[in-house]
Amino acid sequence: MSPTPSSPSTAAGTKRERRKEARPGELLEAALDLFVEKGFAATRVDEVAARAGVSKGTLFLYFPSKEELFKAVVRENIAGRFAEWNNELENFAGTTSEVLRYCYQVWWERIGCTKASGITKLMLSEAQNFPEIVQFYQQEVILPGQALIRRILERGVARGEFRPMNPDYAVYLVLAPMIFLMLWKHSIGACVPDALGMTPEQYIDMQADNILHGLCVRSGTNPPAPSFSTPV
Amino acid sequence: MSPTPSSPSTAAGTKRERRKEARPGELLEAALDLFVEKGFAATRVDEVAARAGVSKGTLFLYFPSKEELFKAVVRENIAGRFAEWNNELENFAGTTSEVLRYCYQVWWERIGCTKASGITKLMLSEAQNFPEIVQFYQQEVILPGQALIRRILERGVARGEFRPMNPDYAVYLVLAPMIFLMLWKHSIGACVPDALGMTPEQYIDMQADNILHGLCVRSGTNPPAPSFSTPV
Amino acid sequence: MSPTPSSPSTAAGTKRERRKEARPGELLEAALDLFVEKGFAATRVDEVAARAGVSKGTLFLYFPSKEELFKAVVRENIAGRFAEWNNELENFAGTTSEVLRYCYQVWWERIGCTKASGITKLMLSEAQNFPEIVQFYQQEVILPGQALIRRILERGVARGEFRPMNPDYAVYLVLAPMIFLMLWKHSIGACVPDALGMTPEQYIDMQADNILHGLCVRSGTNPPAPSFSTPV
Amino acid sequence: MSPTPSSPSTAAGTKRERRKEARPGELLEAALDLFVEKGFAATRVDEVAARAGVSKGTLFLYFPSKEELFKAVVRENIAGRFAEWNNELENFAGTTSEVLRYCYQVWWERIGCTKASGITKLMLSEAQNFPEIVQFYQQEVILPGQALIRRILERGVARGEFRPMNPDYAVYLVLAPMIFLMLWKHSIGACVPDALGMTPEQYIDMQADNILHGLCVRSGTNPPAPSFSTPV
DNA sequence: GATGAATGAGTGTTCATTCAT
DNA sequence: TATGAATGAACACTCATTCAT
């Protein structure tokens, strides 16, 4: 006569079970928030647990140490987008300048202006203390990211839009301004709000203009020399 | 009839006095090492004192707090050098392109490739947790640094070498690659030595080429389009 | 078929729970002992914790700072009792002289001759160094204490037993001898046991006699002039 | 041909010598100030030395420890006045009530309202930590002080002005209000300036009135019943 | 599985005391 | 005699981690 227990596989189980299964995810989300906000050292596990609505002891049930929690956050939040992205850019029709600009734009919308940018900052910041994580990050994030950019550059060269270049080098022309912006946003920018002096979009446009001006062969279809005049 | 004792006031004094005068410098050096190596929060004042060969109490004799110690390190290694640099660059004879390249070179020699670059990384990494330090850094390092670059850009525009531009914006074209390099070096680069794929000098040349290509008006005296070919 | 485990929610719970509920009390008692014995500044929180049988960390689990621990001690032992005392004295039937004598007696039994009297001594001793605590003490102990005495005096005046007076002033006629006795006990008296030359009860009687002799209107029902003869 | 050194016994020596001889005194004065102001524990020997215009090391040349410095301050500042005082009061012409009031007045002028009152507060406060000093204080200050008061009371009884009494007890009727006032002034009064609610003079008058009212036999020459009305 | 009370090593900072000069 | 640089043992307070329930 007891009510048929809803099968956990069909209706996601009771509240308790659902919560149980959701625990690690809730903890990772809370940890992401706090690690991004305060950095690794300054984040307290009590606070992570509290924000996830569990006790401190429960956190240690799922993650054997603060360090492992941190690694799990990195794993959870960084890789996985590249497949989709690669696809998108591979199929993009248009000049390679447009591809590059689109790439910047997409990056800003999906990473740069979101919490996820904090992970990059956090990785760079706490790298020294967790060398093993850096290895992982290098394999799963940095190399795929560089490959993605490199493919764009090679496309430009192949189509005669960009000058011949060593794409392994030129990748950093594209990368550096993005990394810089994320870092600025999560450090100086968080303390001195208008320290940058312009909007992120203006910053990105300016950097893209300059990079493309350096990369492109001169022709009617290519962008004119950037002017950097105040748009305001 | 004993030999005249060397007057303590004349010749560098006793051992104790000599050590005393050297103390702040030794502490600053030890502090720089450790701050760069471990970050601000993770550096223990005991360790700084130990590395300088003094007791913890002695450190507090010279610096009233860990924070002030850090500020002193920043002043010693970065902030205090702007006057000299400004002078140097102000008196530089040559095209503004040459000034900018010289600026990059000097920066790399005196900051970028030294331990001092770690301070920049550290500031960006731990900014959020120590807002007071950020204010200090903003005033004593960032603003002077931006002003220095801006003056170069304005020189270029005034002399008709650079296109008209908003120098407050364009400053970041110069800044971002430098910051990126320092960060890379002290994070990924510290764990995966050859992750960058080129020497810092190559990186700098490449970035300078590209920037100048975007900035300069076209003329016979200005640099040709960068090629980014592998110099091996 | 195992015996029903006693529900933890019903019967005083497990050892751990029982201990947990007792912790604050045990800490307060240990703190009272040590504060009285050594003063506020000289009391170490480690020692308080040790005497309560817990670790230093545990103390800070219950009291956020040494200062708050002290305040809790004051509340537990003095400030929290005024409500009851006020009630008791308000409902006292008898002449106001009797009320005052009863007040002295009650004070001596519940404060003066107990460890709690040490708190008063401690407050007066260390006041200057901890102004914030003085504010607290002024609000939670001194003002209520004065109000209590003042109400007695006003009762006496209203009932024609005491001469007209400014009760704000006269309060100190009652207060000063009590304060003096507590101080003496915890300073000179602690080092030279018989320095006072009489028992505390004799001291109190004598002071009460003298005060009432000054306060009362002359009548048959009021106390005769005090004689201060040695009762041996 | 060197100038005759002025004999130190005649003209107090050169500045250097005079200062040298004055050192301990200057240190004691500085120590008195600071001990009274902040208490024993909270007074820093650096500060004492600085206020005396010498280095910390010099202080330890004259006093082997902070504790010994404290003892020296007590020795220097407390005894010595009693001979003069005894004389003065012994030769006082007038009623014993007047003697007692004069005693209060003199005490307030020369001790109560001066820094010296801080020593009493300080002795009572830090007594527990220095039992040996309490012995000394008992012999050199407390007993003479009590004797002085007792002699006044005995004079009053002998002249038929005061009722018969046990003067060893009654001494505290006179003492307690004085001690209380000094303590209040240096503790609560220092933090909450108007906490007493009246001037010290009003307080003293009130206490004297009340004591004398209790002590005196009734007659035309004796004070009337105190009224304690607000004089303002 | 989940709790949260308990821990104790470790922080930055202070200060009486020492001692080479 | 006088200095003041140097010390190091404390101190209040924190927090990742454990474990009995």
Q: What is the pLDDT of residues A166-219, one digit of tens each?
A: 999 999 999 999 999 999 999 888 888 888 999 999 999 999 999 998 666 554
Burial class of residue C81, CB neighbours in 10 A (0-12, 13-18, 19+) = middle
The model's pLDDT over C97-124, given as tens digits with 9 standing for 90+, comes to 999 999 999 999 999 999 999 999 999 8
Which D residues 144-163 touch C at CB under 8 Å? 163
Q: Do domains D14-76 and D78-215 have the same CATH topology?
A: no
How far, in Å, is the CA of B47 from the C1' of nucleotide F13?
20
Q: Which residues pair with A216 in a beta bridge?
A: A162
Give whichever of A83-87, C10-14, C171-175, D163-167 has the largest mean pLDDT: C171-175
Q: Which two tokens stand for residue D183?
A: 């303590």
Q: How far is B19 from chain A (nearest CA, A)?
A: 33
CA dist list (Å): B101 to A173, B167, B171: 17, 17, 14
- For C25, other C-beta atoms within 10 Å of its C-beta total 12
- 3-class SS at A200? helix
Q: What is the CATH number of domain A14-76?
A: 1.10.10.60
DSSP string, C128-150: GG-HHHHHHHIIIIIHHHHHHHH
* CA dist., res. D89 & res. B209, Å (int): 100
Look at residue C176 and tell me whether its pLDDT is greater than 90: yes
Q: Minimal Cα–Cα distance from A160 to chain B, Å?
A: 14
DSSP B20-45: HHHHHHHHHHHHHHHHHHH-TTT--H
Residue B129, exposed/middle/buried by CB under 10 A (0-12, 13-18, 19+)? Answer: middle
Q: Which 3 state secondary structure label does DSSP give A216?
A: strand
Type of residue numbered A165: M
Identity of residue C63: F
Please tell me what DSSP assigns to residue C177.
H
- Nearest CB among D125, D173, D228 relative to C207 is that of D173
CA–CA distance, D72 with D78 (Å, rounded to integer): 10
At C95, list the tokens. 């002449």
**pLDDT > 90: percent of chain A:** 52
**Helix-strand-coil split of chain B, %, nearest 5:** 70, 0, 30
Q: Which residue of chain B is at minimal alpha-carbon distance from A223?
A: B214
SS3 A49: helix
Query: How far is the C-alpha of A28 from the C-alpha of D130, rounded, in Å?
Result: 58
Q: Which residues have CB under 8 Å from C215's CB, separation 6+?
A: C153, C156, C162, C163, C165, C170, C173, D210
User: Residue by residue, what is the 3-state secondary structure of A67-89?
Assistant: HHHHHHHHHHHCCCHHHHHHHHH
pLDDT at B127 (0 to 100)? 85
Measured CA to CA, the distance from residue A50 to residue C20 in angstroms comes to: 21
Contact A135 B39 (CB under 8 A): no
CB D168 within 8 A of CB D180: no
* Length of chain B counted residue by residue: 232
- Residues of chain A with C-beta less than 8 angstroms from the C-beta of B149: none
Helix (H, G, I), strand (E, B) or coil at C162: strand
Query: d(Cα C158, Cα B147) in Å, to the nearest integer?
Result: 81
Which residues of chain B lie closer than 8 angstroms to A203, CB-CB? Answer: 169, 172
- The pLDDT assigned to A215 comes to 64
**pLDDT for residue D226:** 54
As a whole number of angstroms, the distance between CA D97 and CA D160 comes to 12
d(CA B151, CA B167): 8
Q: How far apart are CA B127 and CA A167, in angstroms?
A: 33
CA C70 to C1' F12, in angstroms, rounded, equals: 14
Closest residue of chain B to A231, computed from CA coordinates:
B166
In B, which residues are within 8 Å of A209 by CB distance?
214
Give the CA diameter of chain B: 82
| The CATH number of domain D78-215 is 1.10.10 | no
The secondary structure of chain D, three-state, reads: CCCCCCCHHHHCCCHHHHHHHHHHHHHHHHHHHHHHHHCCCCCCHHHHHHHHCCCHHHHHHHCCCHHHHHHHHHHHHCCCHHHHHHHHHHCCCCCHHHHHHHHHHHHHHHHHCCCHHHHHHHHHHHHHHCHHHHHHHHHHHHHHHHHHHHHHHHHHHHCCCECCCCHHHHHHHHHHHHHHHHHHHHCHHHHCCCCCCCCHHHHHHHHHHHHHHHHECCCCCCCCCCCCCCCC
Q: How far apart are CA A79 and CA B111, in angstroms?
A: 34
Does A86 contact chain B (CB < 8 Å)?
A: no
Q: How far is A165 from chain B (nearest CA, A)?
A: 5
Check: CB of residue A166 under 8 Å from CB of residue B202.
no
Q: What 3-state DSSP class applies to C60?
A: helix
Residue-wise pLDDT tens digits, C41-87: 999 999 999 999 999 999 999 999 999 999 999 999 999 999 999 99
Chain C residues touching D37 at Cβ < 8 A: 128
Q: What is the CA radius of gyration of chain B?
A: 22
- Quote the pLDDT of residue B87: 92
CA distance D48 to D65: 13
The type of residue at A175 is L
Bases of strand F lying below 7 A from some protein CB: 1-21
Residue A19 structure tokens: 């919560």
CA of A150, C1' of F11: distance in angstroms: 58
Q: What angle do CA B67, B72, B74 make, to 5 degrees?
A: 95
Instruction: Say if B190 is an interface residue toward chain A (CB within 8 Å).
Output: yes
Kindly list the partner chains of chain A, i.e. chains with 3 or more CB atom pairs below 8 Å.
Answer: B
Judged by a CB distance cut-off of 8 A, whether residue D115 touches chain C is no
Which of the nucleotides lies closest to A56 (Cα–C1')? E4
Closest approach of C62 to chain D, Cα-based (Å)? 27
Q: Does residue A83 register a pLDDT over 80? A: yes
- Residue C176's identity, in one-letter code, is A
Bridge partners for C216 per DSSP: C162
Give the separation between CA C110 and CA C132, rounded to whole angstroms: 26
Number of Cβ within 10 Å of residue D178's Cβ equals: 23
| Whether pLDDT at A17 is above 90 | no
Q: What superfamily in CATH does domain C15-65 come from?
A: Homeodomain-like (1.10.10.60)
The token duo for C159 is 């009932």
Residue B162's φ and ψ, nearest 5 degrees, are: -105, 155
3-class state of residue B174 by DSSP: helix
- The reply to whether C60 has its C-beta less than 7 Å from any atom of strand F is yes
D162 phi, psi to nearest 5 deg: -105, 150
Tokens at D228, concatenated? 């304690």
C130 near C44, Cβ under 8 Å? no
For residue B92, what is the DSSP state?
-
pLDDT of C41: 92
Q: Which residue's CA lies closest to nucleotide E11 at its C1' atom?
A: B44
Q: How distant is C1' of E17 from CA of C63, in Å? A: 34
Sign for the pseudo-dihedral over CA of D86, D90, D96, D97: negative
What amino acid is encoded at A28 in this protein?
A: L
Strand F-proximal residues of A, range 63-122, CB below 7 A, are 64-67
Nearest to B165 among A129, A207, A229 (CB): A229
Of C177, C181, C195, the CB nearest to D142: C195
- Which residues share a beta bridge with B162? B216
Whether B176 and A176 have beta carbons less than 8 Å apart is answered as yes
- Write out the two tokens for B220: 């016979």
Higher pLDDT, A171 or C221: A171
Tell the residue number behind the tokens 């009291």, with chain if given: C63
Confirm if B125 and B186 have CB atoms less than 8 A apart.
no
pLDDT above 70: residue A7: no
Q: Is C12 within 8 Å of chain D by CB? A: no
- Classify B216 as helix, strand or coil: strand
Give yes or no for CB of A45 within 7 Å of strand F.
yes
b vs e for D21-48, b when ≥16 Cβ sit within 10 Å of the residue's Cβ? eebbebbbbbbbbbbbbebbbebebebb
Domain boundaries, chain A: 14-76, 78-215
Q: What is the dihedral of CA B191, B195, B198, B202, to 10 degrees?
A: -70
Chain centroid offset of residue C232 CA: 29
The phi and psi torsions of D68 (rounded to 5 degrees) equal: -65, -35
Identify the segments of chain D with pLDDT beneath 70. 1-21, 215-232
CA distances from B42 to B72, D31, D194 (A): 18, 41, 49
A220 shares contact with chain B (CB less than 8 Å): no
Q: Do A124 and B187 touch (CB under 8 A)?
A: yes
Contacts (Cβ under 8 Å, ≥6 apart) of C14: C8
Q: Distance in angstroms, CA of A40 to C1' of F2? A: 51
The CATH number corresponding to B15-70 among 3.40.50.300, 3.40.228.10, 1.10.10.60, 3.40.50.720 equals 1.10.10.60
Helical packing angle, A200-215 and A96-107, nearest 10°: 150
> Which residues of chain B, if any, have pLDDT below 70?
1-21, 214-232
**Spatial distance from the CA of D55 to the C1' of E11 (Å):** 31
> If you count residue pairs, one on C and one on D, with CB atoms under 8 Å apart, how many are there?
198
- A18 or B75, greater pLDDT: B75
